[in-house]
Structure 1
Amino acid sequence: MEIRQLRSEEFEAAIGLSQYAFQFTMSPEDLEKSKKRFKPEQAWGIFDGLDLNAKLTLLPLQVYIHGQVFKMGGIAGVATWPEKRRGGMVSRLLTHALKEMKSAGQSLSFLHPFSFAFYRKFGWETYTEYKKYVIPIDKFPAKLKTEGIVKRDIKDISELNQVYQAYASCYNGTLVRDKEWWQERILNENYRTVVYYSEAGTPQGYALYKIEDKQLNCDEMVYENETARRALWTYFANHDSMITQGKFIYVPADDNLPFLLDDPRVQQETVPYFMGRIVDAAAFVEKYPFEAIGEETRLTLNLSDRYAPWNEGVWTLTINAEGRGYLESVDTSNSSENVIATDLSLGIQSLTTLMLGYQLADDLYKWGRIDGRGESVSALKRVIPVKQTLLLDFF
């Protein structure tokens, strides 16, 4: 068995496995488009001779964390032929992918799981969720006159991305989108766009939507301020002769729209979405913007990570007065029975969900996901900034 990147001539083998595993069939036209976009250097497979037994795609992406840009390896398209399953092939591929991501300087990894329990075994953990609303048209926010204008069917990527960047950088875990991502992943021909412009002509909000069977389906509503939000809702409310309800997904988990409605009793659902994983703890901590509390914080951490052994072990975490952090490995080889006193013990999953802002230190401690002294938990909590997680994309 050999693990290697795919070659351009192996597109048919890869797409054949994907169609079987994910139960879809592509038209000849879509196959041709997919073949042109195929990047074999991003696809890794396990081969038995010339036969592709299992595969995954490793996407070189970037995400916002507390307003800063981090390199992230996106895992997608993990698939194995049924007769080859239960042989540890996915485990081997994921382990190999972690090494590749570390070498590429991707200190984080995200994936959309078919099973949360399955990927937890390999160190990934839930990092974000979203709200989904279904709202009858007569319960939409009231129509309000706003300054500025709204324009339909705007496909200017620079304008859309200007608004997106301002919005996405206010959350943790949102993608940094480039032009290619907008063209191939976002501006789907089945969706329409609407953009709100301020009086000065500056784009400050947009939405992606389509109308089917008297339902407005909105997959993305992005706005920089309350005026933009109201303008977009007024635009949607003006479809009252065309639709009976609207479905809104990928809404931030901390969204407070129901409180703002005249009748907040609308259909609401919270959907667990993507999983995240710190790939290289030392590199991630060094770039991470901790809270600047005016004094140094130092803690000894016992970190466990079975599938990324470079993270495993005892570390000294130091955060200086300005909020710069460092992880320094502690040599335990000369200590009695290789055991030294540590302030906190935790796994890579707990560290990930804590530093991305999905869970708080106090809760992880209460649930037994962090072990140690209460005062050390409080010290850690003081230096980790709080920010809502969000992901508007899929891969």
Structure 2
Amino acid sequence: MNQRKGLVMREIRMDEMAQSIDLLNYVFQMSMSIKKDRRFVSEKSRQFNEGHALGWFDGDHLVSQILSLPFQVNIYGVPYEMGGITAIGTYPEYSKQGLMDQLIKETLTIMREEGRYISYLFPFSIPYYRKKGWEIMSDIVEFQVKDTQFPHYKQVPGKIRRVNTRHQDLVSIYDRFAAKTHGAMIRNTIAWNEKFHEDYWEEKFVDTDVVLQAAVYYDEDDVPQAYMYYRIMEENFYIDEIVYLTEESRKGIWNFVSAHTSMVYNAYGKTTGNEPVAFLLEDSEIIQE
């Protein structure tokens, strides 16, 4: 326990989860249905059990918080323990008091004691976290491909199957991808639940019938080689994640997108700055930013 200006820093208890969610809702201005909120709380509760949640309290009132989660990453072929930082927030009336500085220092100390010498986070402000010691290791590139630009590759020998979003072949493909990709997260249950598996994911689109779907490309030996998580919404195709292990499977999974030409006007997606999306497509004049 640490004290500062009448405030106390300590671990956040499970019976204080509601305060943690209220703080996140305020800081990130999240708008959630009651149904989604309950699912969100359920998922965050599991994360709190798996990681370390620290906060500053003014009496019994949570005013600043941070959550670290246990992960692994591939560093040049070697798996390293990693601490993922999330759920960061401070009420504005308590800002500029150094509260987050202390939370970050204490969290990094705990990570080191647990043998986690690497930390990842998704920064809301790059300059802010650079001052705290983090640096950019991957860029995000958003792209838009018009239906007239969809690639139509020659027939590939494999086939596509649409599968359940929890299908084991999805995990198998990603594990092989992560094992050969420097800097990739080796996803555990926490990571998969946060990204794709939780039921509350579908509640991101309140009052619509939009659902997350998954497709897998299998080669001619029926070995899974690529997958795509996607949504079809308002006559557009949204790629939430695409992972492929071979050039053949890349073409096969993009042929699947092209098969939706009569249904959608555009395909939208995100990838890393190292992925040459435009170069690999037949029509390279796509929008990237």
Give the shorter-chain TM-score range. Answer: 0.7 to 0.9
Instruction: Give the alignment of 1:32-111 within 5 angstroms.
Output: 32-37=38-43, 38=45, 39=48, 42-111=52-121
Q: Where does the alignment leave 5 or more consecutive residues of structure 2 unmatched?
A: 1-6, 203-210
Which shows bigger deviation, 145-154 or 259-268? Answer: 259-268
Aligned residues of 1:144 and 1:231 also touching (Cα < 8 A): no
Matched, 1:160 2:170: yes
Structure richer in helix, relative to its length: 2
**Which amino acid letter does the alignment assign opposite residue 118 of structure 2?**
L
Give the aligned partner of residue 122 of structure 2.
112
Task: Determine helix, strand or coil for the equivalent of 1:75.
Answer: strand
Task: Determine helix, strand or coil for the equivalent of 1:125.
Answer: coil
**Which amino acid letter does the alignment assign opposite residue 241 of structure 1?**
S
Tell me, in whole angstroms, the C-alpha distance in 1 between the residues paired with 2:231 and 2:250: 18
Q: Where does the alignment leave 5 or more consecutive residues of structure 1 unmatched?
A: 270-395
Structure 1 residue 90: Cα displacement: 0.6
Structure 1 residue 180: Cα displacement: 4.6
Give the aligned partner of residue 9 of structure 1.
15
1:164-211 CA distances to partner (integer Å, 9 max, x unpaired)? 111123322221112453244213442110101112211111101111
**Which amino acid letter does the alignment assign opposite residue 133 of structure 1?**
F
Structure 1 residue 116: Cα displacement: 1.1
Matched, 1:30 2:36: yes
Structure 1 residue 256: Cα displacement: 2.6
Give the aligned partner of residue 207 of structure 2.
none
Matched, 1:255 2:275: yes
Give the aligned partner of residue 208 of structure 2.
none
Tell me, in whole angstroms, the C-alpha distance in 1 between the residues paired with 2:250 and 2:77: 22
Q: 1:110 to 1:184 in 2, by over 3 A?
A: closer
Aligned residues of 1:168 and 1:174 also touching (Cα < 8 A): yes
Tell me, in whole angstroms, the C-alpha distance in 1 between the residues paired with 2:103 and 2:166: 39
**Which amino acid letter does the alignment assign opposite residue 2 of structure 1?**
V
Query: How does the TM-score come out when normalised to structure 1?
Result: 0.65
Tell me, in whole angstroms, the C-alpha distance in 2 between the residues paired with 1:96 and 1:218: 38
Instruction: Give the alignment of 1:297-308 within 5 angstroms.
Output: none
Give the aligned partner of residue 241 of structure 1.
262
Instruction: Give the alignment of 1:300-339 within 5 angstroms.
Output: none
Tell me, in whole angstroms, the C-alpha distance in 1 between the residues paired with 2:279 and 2:26: 45
Task: Determine helix, strand or coil for the equivalent of 1:10.
Answer: helix
Which shows bigger deviation, 169-178 or 10-19? Answer: 169-178
Tell me, in whole angstroms, the C-alpha distance in 1 between the residues paired with 2:30 and 2:71: 26
Aligned residues of 1:157 and 1:179 also touching (Cα < 8 A): no
1:354-391 CA distances to partner (integer Å, 9 max, x unpaired)? xxxxxxxxxxxxxxxxxxxxxxxxxxxxxxxxxxxxxx
1:27-61 CA distances to partner (integer Å, 9 max, x unpaired)? 22223223333125531101233221210111111
Question: What number of residue pairs does the alignment pair up?
Answer: 268
Tell me, in whole angstroms, the C-alpha distance in 2 between the residues paired with 1:179 and 1:96: 25
Tell me, in whole angstroms, the C-alpha distance in 1 between the residues paired with 2:276 and 2:41: 43
Aligned residues of 1:206 and 1:223 also touching (Cα < 8 A): yes
Give the aligned partner of residue 186 of structure 2.
176
1:121-169 CA distances to partner (integer Å, 9 max, x unpaired)? 1111111103222111111222321112110133354211111111123
Give the aligned partner of residue 265 of structure 1.
285
Structure 1 residue 26: Cα displacement: 2.9
**Which amino acid letter does the alignment assign opposite residue 30 of structure 2?**
F
Instruction: Give the alignment of 1:131-150 within 5 angstroms.
Output: 131-150=141-160
Q: 1:260 to 1:17 in 2, by over 3 A?
A: closer
Give the aligned partner of residue 19 of structure 1.
25
Tell me, in whole angstroms, the C-alpha distance in 2 between the residues paired with 1:27 and 1:205: 34
Aligned residues of 2:151 and 2:283 also touching (Cα < 8 A): no
1:53-96 CA distances to partner (integer Å, 9 max, x unpaired)? 21011111111111221111111111111111111101111111
Task: Determine helix, strand or coil for the equivalent of 2:132.
Answer: coil
Tell me, in whole angstroms, the C-alpha distance in 2 between the residues paired with 1:131 and 1:181: 21
Aligned residues of 1:54 and 1:79 also touching (Cα < 8 A): yes
Tell me, in whole angstroms, the C-alpha distance in 2 between the residues paired with 1:154 and 1:12: 32
Give the aligned partner of residue 377 of structure 1.
none
CA RMSD of aligned residues (A): 1.7
Aligned residues of 2:63 and 2:90 also touching (Cα < 8 A): yes
Give the aligned partner of residue 242 of structure 2.
221
